[in-house]
């Protein structure tokens, strides 16, 4: 690879020379730019960002990652952070970002008009972009929907060995338990977690799609999973996945009381945003009609704007009453939720 | 052999060790060594393993610092406590016990390693010259692993000599050679050193090698210098009991001083000049070398019995027992062939006496 | 005469704070390098002193036992697995001759290019209850769930198997190198003493190769401890998943760091074990004579068994998952048939190559300084930095971010206060920070390899070069580096492939708009789009392939006495009589 020893030092010099120009991109605070930290994956947001650049001429610099880690980075970078906007896919994370003081309150007529109050922070630090529900999915061949009623009812003995749900390490489950803590109290949440664990068909493993496929294949009868996963499986071109999804019915529980657990993805402008105005424009853009329609059609999520219809597939799941819990509470009770699931032996 | 007087005059170092202590991690390995090796001479550190001879050599090379005293090369101090001239700055060559040839370089690359700063033509000339000197012309492109041990040894020597060092150090360079080859190689290397006009210093535990190689020999024991002298003096005038035992063969016989020039022993009265002052009647040990005794059945007057014998080609080495049980070594021409338990008669042939005050035990010399 | 000061020669083994005499430049430089590299691990350690609340009580009551048990079982299982696969195949391809041996000797390294989480995703996709294999079984037999037995892939055993399949090449690679380096004399002696191939292997070759085996095992086990992707996907609670859960889920960095400290103590034991075995290695390789090892020709069922033994790991660890990835990739051409993808591949390649070069240079500086000095501080700092390999990438990333952000913000604050200018983030969020994290994370890999290589060079080589007028740096470049060519290439390859696969630190530390294949593969796989992620995963494997093959060939050639030229010379000189030099006799 290198003919003689001095080669390695030449390479070192080259390495140094090449490593440092790259720092320029991270500066990224010039005119006509906006820097985005996104917990939403690149392929689920890049097309929208490209549209934004095309429409506004503002260049978007994107850094994707896990919400916790992006938040950690944002916190450590402090007032010098290049980030203008933070996007997460869970309200709990938005709440944590707010608590950490890395978000700024913004006043935007557009946002206030576009987003219903329940989907935005009362102080204007974060705004919901899309919504997803976590209903009960059932194998249509095995379960009559009339047997289903609430999340709590899933802890009854008749469901023993019939439920598939993913690991408690996943934020969706943590938020779900947090929502039960918020509305029913910690004790009820503990009972629920214990009941679910004792009714599990197998130790938690895999992601939401895996639960759906397992239920379709007969490992269990009930899967708890987010709506967009089922939607994406139905809309996707993978035949096996589509066939599995088609075997499943959607049941929105707790319609008589608090409503079905929902969660949002959302965005906030950072406290030290170097391109604050561009940041606000980006968030506004993401709540615009086109962007919301894109979420609905491509990501199979529910738009937060009431005036934008859900996709055909999602509409097919039916209307439902969503839990109108203040979503900040999901973040407040997150650690408690993890402990409850630990105690329940929910892996 | 062409002489290079101008080079030897300019290059050969005078080596001075002045009250030197060397050690590792606070542990002193050699103590208070003082000696001077004249420019162009060849010296040797001789001693049993663990005596500190290699440590001393490494200190001269600059691989170890000194804890006391100083080392001077041609009046330049190269080592003293807190100061150590780096080995690469000393212009001192070294041949290692394992040769340490660079496996990734061919013979030419190895020899030219230390002279890469020279002009190309000079460098090539020097390599050719050295290869001729060591008798390996034609091996320029061979790699070390393809050479025999003796060949590798000579390449290592040529490599060390290439930069014309003012001093060449050799760390047991012959230890991996056949016994018969060692002395020959020592002679040969000595010839090469002479030809190069370099001061040399060898480390060995083999006295034959030392005798064949060195002008002066330092006998070391347990980190101390016992004697720094010519081979002849080491043999005939050993400074202490250790040197007497380590250099050459012999037996210690206890005795009593009976006059200024006479010691009474189991062999009878031995006459000769006593080194130093011994009071009459004091107990002493006398070193009896095998060649101090003649086997002479005709005119010998001391009866003895053959205990064992070893054939050494030109002569036999006999071990003999006197009446009182004292055992002696004796060399006799191989045409006088006695067998074990034969009774023989001895005659004394001392030319001078080696006598030590009576020690704790009459240690048997090897 | 120019006077310079060098410090104590390497011969003294007892380390001191400052070796006798004034220290030269090497220990200072290497000490600083080592300390800077140890910084992230030290930062994490410092978190241990944060108040941990009652999280420990909670953990002890709930998951701690499981963390310990699963981590230890995983270590044990993978440890046994990599030895059982790695050593025999290394012996077979080094010492025996059987059909396909030449291909196997590099093919056996292929799983190295397969990230553990990718192989886990792939096998799950195939062997899961809903996957094609079980679906076929159900179609044929008409049985349903629970009516037939099929091994559960997403289990502790499954995780052991997955990790074993991708980690055994560490043992294979290092052990094979050790076998190839063994002096033929030792093996021949064993044959003259009546040892057949098997007892020769057990009684001579294996004990001699032990330090290499342990070095490979240590690397593999450290990877096991650091693995997050596989165990998280399989839903197995280990220390690694526990650290994440505690840090983020329970929002308690203190307790998380304390968990990490427990993890590091596992590593420390591993390292001590490895050190201890390396110590004894000094007595090895006494002979410097090598020649081509005569291979045992295997025939009949023995040859078939050898082929099977080598084929199975390659098949399961590479061919099957690669085939599955290829099938998926062909289904999703839009993923790789776009100009972005080529850029992504280049980006990744460039990053991995750069990181590999840096890690190897740093390892050289540290290893060489230790060879010369053995200073206590350097030694300790090197050990601490080396632990980075067993720490999950995210944790290391936090350890990198903390001091870098502190430095940037402090400097910025200072400049703002005194000069009214903002320097912003100089290091944070740059490629330099990412490369630094790689250096910390993979130092253990490069250092172990380089130290092992350096250790094989006799100290008299250094002395010889020094006595011929070479300064230490020149000695390094003109003697050690050329001799260690194979070793250096191995170190480069290992780090290169590791960076290629690295995910967590890349994810959190990378600059804007900077993606690697691993990031792309993970984002898609993490979103449960295995098929879409396959192109990136396959590209990782393919980019990793090239150096794997290259290095393997070089290692074989680097064996002493194996160069073409040397072989030709050998024939000429071996039989030459030992002529006494004419010139010498004249004196």
Contacts of B25 in chain C (CB under 8 A): 12, 14, 16
Chain centroid to Cα A210, Å, comes to 17
Q: Residue C513's pLDDT is what?
A: 86
B336/chain C closest Cα distance in angstroms = 35
Question: What does the pLDDT read at residue C158?
Answer: 93
Q: Identify which has the larger pLDDT, C208 or C97.
A: C97
pLDDT value at C50 more than 80: no
**Cβ-proximal residues to B178 (8 Å cutoff; 6+ apart), any chain:** none
Higher pLDDT, B334 or B280: B280
Measured in angstroms, the CA of C490 and the nearest CA of chain B are apart by: 18
Confidence of residue B359 (pLDDT cuts 50, 70, 90): low
Q: Which CATH architecture has domain A6-131+263-309?
A: 3-Layer(aba) Sandwich (3.40)
CA–CA gap between residue C462 and residue C464 (Å, rounded): 5
The mean per-residue pLDDT over the stretch B21-27 comes to: 81
Spatial neighbors of C68 by CB under 8 A, at least 6 apart, are C239
Query: Are A129 and A212 a contacting pair, CB within 8 Å?
Result: no
What is chain B's alpha carbon radius of gyration, rounded to the nearest angstrom?
A: 24
Residue of chain C whose Cα is closest to the Cα of A209: C528
Tell me: pLDDT of C319 over 80.
yes
Per-residue pLDDT tens digits for C493-538: 889 988 988 888 888 888 888 888 888 888 887 777 777 888 888 8
pTM for this entry: 0.78
DSSP A283-322: HHHHTSHHHHHHIIIII--EESSTTSPPPHHHHHT---PB
Q: Which residues pair with B315 in a beta bridge?
A: B333
Q: Is the pLDDT of residue C24 over 70?
A: no
* C141 three-class SS: helix
Residue A36 is encoded by which pair of tokens? Answer: 């985005």
* Pairwise CA distance, residues A82 & C427, whole Å: 12
Which region among A123-137, C23-37, C267-281 has the lowest average model confidence (pLDDT)?
C267-281
* pLDDT confidence bin for C201, thresholds 50/70/90: confident
Lowest mean pLDDT among A9-23, B44-58, C54-68: A9-23
What pLDDT, on the 0 to 100 scale, is given for residue B4? 38
Would you state the pLDDT for residue C490?
Answer: 81
Tell me if A6-131+263-309 shares its fold with A133-261+317-344.
yes
Average pLDDT for chain C:
78
Residue C473 forms contact with B (CB below 8 Å):
no
Which of left, alpha, beta for A131 (phi over 0: left; psi -120 to 50: alpha)? beta
Q: Any chain B CB within 8 A of the CB of C584?
A: yes
The total number of residues shown for chain A amounts to 347
Closest CB to A42 among C247, C360, C523: C523
Whether residue B61 is predicted with pLDDT greater than 50 in this model: the reply is yes
CB contact under 8 A, C583 and B24: no
**A19-23, A224-228, B205-209, C430-434: segment of lowest average pLDDT:** A19-23
A6 touches chain C (CB under 8 A): yes
In chain B, which residues have their Cβ closer than 8 Å to the Cβ of C579? 135
User: Where residue C279 falls among pLDDT bands split at 50, 70, 90?
Assistant: low
Nearest to B212 by CA among B202, B225, B220: B202
Of A63, A335, A343, the CB nearest to C251: A335
Q: Rounded to whole angstroms, how far apart are CA atoms C12 and B22?
A: 12
What integer best gives the mean pLDDT of chain B?
A: 84
> Is there a contact between C148 and C122 (Cβ–Cβ < 8 Å)?
no
Q: Does C209 touch chain A (CB under 8 A)?
A: no
* Percentage of chain A lying above the pLDDT 90 cut: 58
Q: Where are the domains of chain A?
A: 6-131+263-309, 133-261+317-344
Q: Is the pLDDT of residue C471 over 60?
A: yes
| DSSP codes joined into one string, C86-105 | HHHHHHHHHHEE-TTHHHHH
Chains in contact with A, where contact requires at least 3 CB pairs less than 8 Å apart? C
pLDDT of residue C81: 96
Closest in C469, C580, C583 to B133, CB measured: C583
Q: Which among C4, C485, C578 has the least Cβ separation from residue B86?
A: C4
CA atoms within 13 A on the CB side of A238: 22
Q: Would you say domain A133-261+317-344 falls under CATH 3.30.390.10?
A: no
More confident residue, C11 or C340: C340
The residues facing B263 across adjacent strands are: B257, B270
State the greatest distance between any 2 C-alpha atoms of chain A, in Å, as a whole number: 78
C112, C544 Cβ separation under 8 angstroms: yes
Pairing relationship of beta strands B283-288 and B251-259 according to DSSP bridges: antiparallel
**pLDDT at position C373 over 70:** no
Banded pLDDT at C87 (limits 50, 70, 90) = very high
Nearest 10 degrees: CA dihedral of C77, C78, C84, C88?
180
Residue bearing the bigger pLDDT, C111 or C336 = C111
**Average pLDDT, whole number, for chain A?**
87
pLDDT at B37 over 90: yes
Give the pLDDT of residue C290. 45
Whether pLDDT at B268 is above 90: no
pLDDT at C426: 83
Higher-pLDDT residue of B52 and B2 is B52
Give B141 to chain C, closest Cα distance, Å. Answer: 8
Mean pLDDT on A86-113: 91
| Predicted pLDDT of residue C338 | 74
Does residue B3 have a pLDDT over 90? no
Share of chain A above pLDDT 70, in %: 91
CA C553 to each of CA C106, C180, C556: distance values in angstroms, whole numbers, following the listed order? 8, 13, 5
3-state SS, residue B103: coil
Closest CA to C171 of C104, C280, C274, C87: C87
Q: What is the DSSP letter of A27?
A: H
The pLDDT confidence band at residue A4, using thresholds 50, 70 and 90, is: very low
Q: Tell me the average pLDDT across C161-181.
A: 88
CATH of domain C342-410+424-560: 1.10.3720.10
Residue C187's pLDDT band (cuts 50, 70, 90): low
Edge to edge, the sheet with strand B327-333 lists B293-295, B343-348, B302-311, B315-322, B327-333
> What distance in Å separates the CA atoms of residue B65 and residue B78, rounded to the nearest whole number?
10
User: Subunits touching B (CB < 8 Å, at least 3 pairs)?
Assistant: C
Cα–Cα distance, A140 to A245 (Å, whole number):
10
pLDDT score at A218 = 86
Structure tokens at B67: 């804890």
Residue that wins the pLDDT comparison between A259 and C20: A259
**A265 or B365, higher pLDDT:** A265
Min CA distance, A263 vs chain C (Å)?
17
User: Given C245, C357, C432, which is nearest A23 (Cβ)?
Assistant: C432
The residues that bridge with B268 in the sheet, in sequence order, are B265
Confidence label for B1 from pLDDT (cuts 50, 70 and 90): very low
The percent of residues in chain C predicted with pLDDT above 90, rounded, is 15
Which chain A residues are Cβ-neighbours of C234 within 8 angstroms?
A: 205
A chain contacts of residue C398, beta-carbon cutoff 8 Å: 72
Cβ pair B37, B199 in contact under 8 A: yes
Tokens of A142: 């095995």
Q: What sections of chain B are H helices per DSSP? A: 5-11, 53-61, 107-111, 120-134, 149-161, 179-196, 207-213, 231-236, 241-246
Q: Count of B–C CB contacts within 8 Å? A: 180
Determine B/A contact with 3+ CB pairs under 8 A as the test: no
Least confident of B155-164, C432-441, C573-582: C573-582
- What confidence tens digit (pLDDT) does each residue in C424-435 have? 888 888 889 999
Report CB contact under 8 Å: C507, A69.
yes
Taking the CA atoms of residue A4, residue A8, residue A11 and residue A12 in that order, the dihedral angle to the nearest 10 degrees is -160
Percentage of chain B with pLDDT > 70? Answer: 94
pLDDT of residue C197: 63
What is the residue extent of each domain of chain C? Answer: 342-410+424-560
Average pLDDT (A250-262) is 93
Task: State how beta strands A33-38 and A85-88 pair.
Answer: parallel
pLDDT at A190 over 90: yes
Does the pLDDT at position C9 exceed 60? no
The answer, for A146 touching chain C at a CB cutoff of 8 Å, is no
Q: Do B84 and C471 touch (CB under 8 A)?
A: no
Residue of chain A with shortest Cα separation from C423: A80
For residue C405, the distance in angstroms to the closest alpha carbon of chain A comes to 6
Please state, in angstroms and rounded to a whole number, the distance separating the CA atoms of residues C525 and C532: 8
Alpha carbon distance C468, B111 (integer Å): 10
The pLDDT tens digits for A18-48 are 444 433 333 334 458 999 999 988 888 888 9
Identify the pLDDT of residue A277.
93
Residue C260 has pLDDT above 70, yes or no: yes
User: Would you say residue C457 has pLDDT above 70?
Assistant: yes
Q: Is the pLDDT of residue C270 over 90?
A: no
| Record: contact C478-A5, CB cut-off 8 A | yes
Instruction: Quote the tokens at residue B58.
Output: 């490494």
pLDDT at C234: 84
Q: How far apart are alpha carbons C494 and C113 in whole angstroms?
A: 10
pLDDT bucket at C7, cuts 50 / 70 / 90: very low
Tell me which of A146 and C56 has the higher pLDDT. A146
Cα of A218 to nearest chain C Cα, Å: 6
A159 pLDDT band (50/70/90 cuts)?
very high
d(CA C362, CA C365): 5
**Which range (A125-129, B127-131, C23-27, C369-373) has the least confidence?**
C23-27
Does the distance separating the beta carbons of C467 and B135 come in below 8 Å? no
- Contact residues for C69 (Cβ-Cβ < 8 A; gap 6+): none
Test A80 with C476 for CB contact under 8 angstroms: no
* pLDDT at residue A185 in the model: 93
Q: Which has more pLDDT, C584 or B42?
A: B42
Distance in angstroms (rounded) separating the CA atoms of residues B76 and C372:
26
- Inter-chain CB proximity B145 and C290 less than 8 Å: yes
Q: Judge contact between C216 and C86, C-beta under 8 A.
A: yes
Return the pLDDT at C429.
83
Nearest CA among B195, B200, B98, B210 for reference residue B155: B98
Between residues C286 and C199, the one the model is more confident about = C199
The answer on pLDDT for C581 being more than 60 is no
Residue A5 contacts C, CB cutoff 8 Å: yes
For residues A31 and C517, is the Cβ–Cβ distance under 8 A? Answer: no
Q: What is the C-alpha to C-alpha distance for residues A176 and A322, in angstroms, rounded to an integer? A: 13
pLDDT score at A1: 36
Q: Is C557 on the interface with B (CB under 8 A)?
A: no
Give B219→chain C minimum CA distance, Å: 24
Q: Is the pLDDT of residue B17 over 60?
A: yes
Q: What would you report as the CA-atom Rg of chain C, rounded to the nearest whole angstrom? A: 26
């Amino acid at each position: 690879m290198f003919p003689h020893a001095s080669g390695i030092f030449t390479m070192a010099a080259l390495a140094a020379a090449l490593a440092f120009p790259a720092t320029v991109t991270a500066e990224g605070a010039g005119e006509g730019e906006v820097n985005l930290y996104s917990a939403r994956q690149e392929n689920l947001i890049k097309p929208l960002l490209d549209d934004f650049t095309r429409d506004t001429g503002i260049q978007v610099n994107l850094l994707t990652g896990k919400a916790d880690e992006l938040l950690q980075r944002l916190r450590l970078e402090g007032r010098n952070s290049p980030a203008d906007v933070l996007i997460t896919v869970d309200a709990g994370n938005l709440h944590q970002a707010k608590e950490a003081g890395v978000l700024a309150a913004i006043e935007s007529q557009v946002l206030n008009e576009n987003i219903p109050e329940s989907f935005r922070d009362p102080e204007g630090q974060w705004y919901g972009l899309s919504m997803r529900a976590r209903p009960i999915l059932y194998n249509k061949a095995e379960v009559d929907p009339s047997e289903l009623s609430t999340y709590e009812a899933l802890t009854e003995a008749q469901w023993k060995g019939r439920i598939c749900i993913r690991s408690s390490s996943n934020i969706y489950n943590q938020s779900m338990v947090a929502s039960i803590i918020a509305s029913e109290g910690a004790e009820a949440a503990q009972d629920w977690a214990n009941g679910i664990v004792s009714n599990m068909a197998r130790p938690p493993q895999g992601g939401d799609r895996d639960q759906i496929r397992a239920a379709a294949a007969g490992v269990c009868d009930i899967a708890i999973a987010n709506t967009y996963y089922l939607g994406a499986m139905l809309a996707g071109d993978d035949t096996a996945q589509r066939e599995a999804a088609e075997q499943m019915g959607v049941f929105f529980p707790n319609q008589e009381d608090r409503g079905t657990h929902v969660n949002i993805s959302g965005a906030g402008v950072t406290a030290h945003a170097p391109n604050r105005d561009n940041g606000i424009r980006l968030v506004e853009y993401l709540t615009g009609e086109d962007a919301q329609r894109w979420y609905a059609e491509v990501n199979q999520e529910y738009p937060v704007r009431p005036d934008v219809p859900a996709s055909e597939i999602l509409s097919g799941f039916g209307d439902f009453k969503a839990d109108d819990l203040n979503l900040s509470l999901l973040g407040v009770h997150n650690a408690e939720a993890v402990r409850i699931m630990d105690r329940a032996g929910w892996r | 052999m062409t002489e290079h007087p101008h080079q030897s005059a300019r290059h050969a170092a005078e080596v001075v060790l002045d009250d030197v202590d060397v050690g590792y991690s606070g542990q002193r390995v050699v103590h208070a060594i003082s000696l001077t090796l004249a420019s162009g001479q060849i010296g040797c550190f001789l001693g049993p393993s663990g005596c500190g001879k290699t440590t001393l050599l490494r200190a001269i090379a600059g691989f170890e610092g000194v804890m006391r005293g100083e080392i001077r090369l041609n009046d330049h101090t190269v080592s003293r406590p807190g100061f150590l001239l780096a080995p690469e700055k000393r212009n001192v060559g070294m041949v290692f016990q394992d040769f340490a040839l660079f496996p990734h370089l061919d013979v030419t690359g190895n020899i030219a390693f230390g002279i890469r700063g020279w002009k190309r033509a000079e460098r090539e000339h020097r390599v050719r010259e050295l290869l001729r000197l060591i008798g390996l012309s034609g091996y320029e492109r061979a790699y070390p692993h393809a050479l025999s041990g003796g060949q590798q040894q000579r390449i290592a020597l040529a490599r060390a000599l290439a930069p014309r060092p003012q001093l060449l150090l050799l760390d047991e360079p012959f230890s991996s050679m056949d016994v018969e080859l060692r002395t020959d190689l020592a002679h040969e290397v000595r010839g090469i050193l002479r030809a190069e006009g370099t001061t040399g210093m060898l480390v060995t535990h083999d006295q034959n090698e030392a005798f064949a190689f060195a002008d002066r020999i330092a006998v070391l024991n347990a980190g101390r210098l016992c004697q720094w002298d010519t081979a002849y003096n080491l043999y005939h005038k050993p400074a202490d009991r250790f040197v007497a035992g380590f250099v050459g063969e012999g037996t210690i016989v206890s005795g009593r001083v009976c006059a200024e020039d006479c010691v009474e022993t189991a062999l009878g009265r031995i006459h000769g000049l006593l080194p130093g002052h011994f009071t009459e009647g004091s107990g002493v040990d006398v070193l009896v070398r095998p060649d101090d005794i003649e086997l002479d059945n005709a005119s010998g007057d001391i009866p003895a019995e053959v205990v064992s014998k070893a054939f050494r080609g030109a002569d036999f080495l006999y071990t003999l027992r006197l009446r009182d049980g004292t055992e002696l070594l004796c060399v006799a021409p191989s045409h006088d062939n006695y067998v074990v338990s034969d009774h023989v008669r001895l005659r004394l042939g001392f030319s001078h006496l080696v006598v030590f005050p009576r020690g704790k035990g009459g240690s048997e010399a090897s | 005469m120019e006077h310079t000061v060098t410090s104590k020669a390497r011969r003294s083994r007892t380390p001191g704070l400052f070796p006798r005499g004034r220290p030269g430049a090497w220990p200072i430089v290497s000490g600083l390098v080592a300390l800077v590299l140890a910084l992230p691990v030290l930062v994490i350690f410092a978190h241990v002193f944060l108040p941990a609340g009652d999280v420990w009580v909670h953990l002890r009551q709930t998951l701690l036992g499981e963390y310990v048990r699963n981590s230890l079982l995983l270590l044990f299982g993978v440890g046994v697995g990599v030895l059982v696969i790695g050593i025999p195949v290394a012996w077979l391809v080094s010492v025996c001759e059987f059909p396909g041996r030449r291909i196997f000797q590099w093919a056996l390294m292929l799983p190295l290019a397969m990230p553990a989480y990718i192989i886990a995703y792939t096998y799950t996709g195939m062997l899961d209850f809903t996957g094609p294999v079980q679906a076929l079984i159900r179609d044929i037999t008409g049985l349903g769930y629970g009516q037939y037995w099929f091994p559960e892939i997403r289990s502790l055993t499954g995780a052991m198997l997955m990790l074993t399949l991708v980690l055994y090449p560490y043992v294979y690679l290092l052990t094979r190198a050790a076998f190839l380096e063994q002096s033929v004399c030792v093996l021949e002696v064993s044959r003259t003493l009546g040892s057949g191939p098997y007892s020769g292997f057990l009684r001579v070759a294996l004990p001699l190769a032990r330090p290499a085996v342990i070095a490979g095992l240590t690397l593999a086990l450290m990877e096991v401890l650091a693995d997050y992707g596989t165990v998280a996907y399989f839903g197995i609670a280990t220390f690694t998943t526990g650290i994440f859960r505690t840090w983020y889920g329970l929002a308690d960095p203190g307790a998380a760091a304390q968990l990490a400290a427990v993890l590091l103590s596992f590593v420390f034991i591993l390292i001590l074990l490895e050190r201890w075995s390396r110590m004894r290695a000094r007595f090895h390789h006494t002979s410097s004579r090598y020649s081509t090892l005569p291979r045992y020709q295997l025939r009949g069922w023995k040859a078939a068994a050898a082929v099977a033994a080598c084929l199975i790991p390659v098949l399961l660890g590479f061919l099957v998952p690669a085939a599955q990835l290829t099938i998926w990739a062909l289904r999703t051409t839009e993923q790789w048939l776009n100009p972005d993808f080529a850029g992504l591949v280049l980006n990744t390649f460039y990053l991995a190559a750069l990181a590999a070069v840096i890690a190897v240079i740093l390892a050289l500086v540290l290893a060489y300084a230790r060879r010369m000095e053995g200073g206590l501080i350097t030694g300790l700092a090197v050990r601490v930095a080396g632990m980075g390999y067993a720490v999950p990438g995210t944790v290391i990333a936090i350890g990198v971010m903390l001091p870098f952000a502190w430095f940037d913000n402090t400097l910025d604050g200072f400049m703002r206060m005194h000069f009214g200018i903002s320097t912003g983030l100089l290091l944070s969020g740059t490629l330099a920070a990412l490369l630094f994290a790689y250096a910390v994370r993979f130092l253990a890999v490069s250092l172990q390899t380089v130290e092992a290589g350096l250790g094989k060079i006799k100290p008299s080589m250094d002395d010889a070069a020094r006595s011929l007028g070479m300064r230490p740096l020149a000695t390094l470049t003109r003697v050690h580096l050329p001799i260690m060519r194979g070793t250096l290439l191995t170190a480069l390859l290992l780090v290169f492939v590791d960076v290629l696969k690295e995910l967590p630190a890349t994810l959190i530390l990378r600059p804007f708009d900077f993606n690697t294949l691993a990031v792309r593969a993970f984002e898609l796989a993490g979103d449960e789009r295995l098929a879409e992620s396959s192109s990136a995963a396959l590209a990782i494997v393919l980019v990793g392939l090239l150096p794997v093959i290259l290095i393997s060939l070089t290692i074989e050639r680097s064996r002493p006495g194996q160069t073409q030229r040397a072989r030709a010379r050998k024939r000429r000189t071996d039989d030459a009589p030992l002529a006494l030099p004419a010139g010498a006799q004249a004196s």
